[in-house]
């Protein structure tokens, strides 16, 4: 994960839009994961 961040940092301002899109994808993925865990019933699964 850190390597991805470093790559985005190197891109600079020209890659801001790409970073925003990537962050949105990551947040969506994390939200889906959390919702899935809640549906299963508990953070242990």
What's the Cα-to-Cα distance from 12 to each of 5, 25, 45, rounded to whole Å? 11, 19, 38
> According to the model, what pLDDT value does residue 40 have?
77
Sign of CA dihedral 38, 34, 31, 33: negative
pLDDT tens digits in sequence order for the chain, 45 residues long: 677 767 666 666 666 778 888 889 999 999 998 888 888 776 654
Confidence at residue 44, expressed as pLDDT on a 0 to 100 scale: 58
């Amino acid at each position: 994960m850190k390597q991805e961040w470093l790559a985005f940092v190197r891109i600079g301002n020209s890659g801001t839009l790409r970073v925003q899109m990537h962050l949105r994808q990551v947040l969506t993925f994390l939200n889906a994961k959390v919702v899935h865990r809640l549906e299963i019933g508990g953070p242990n699964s």
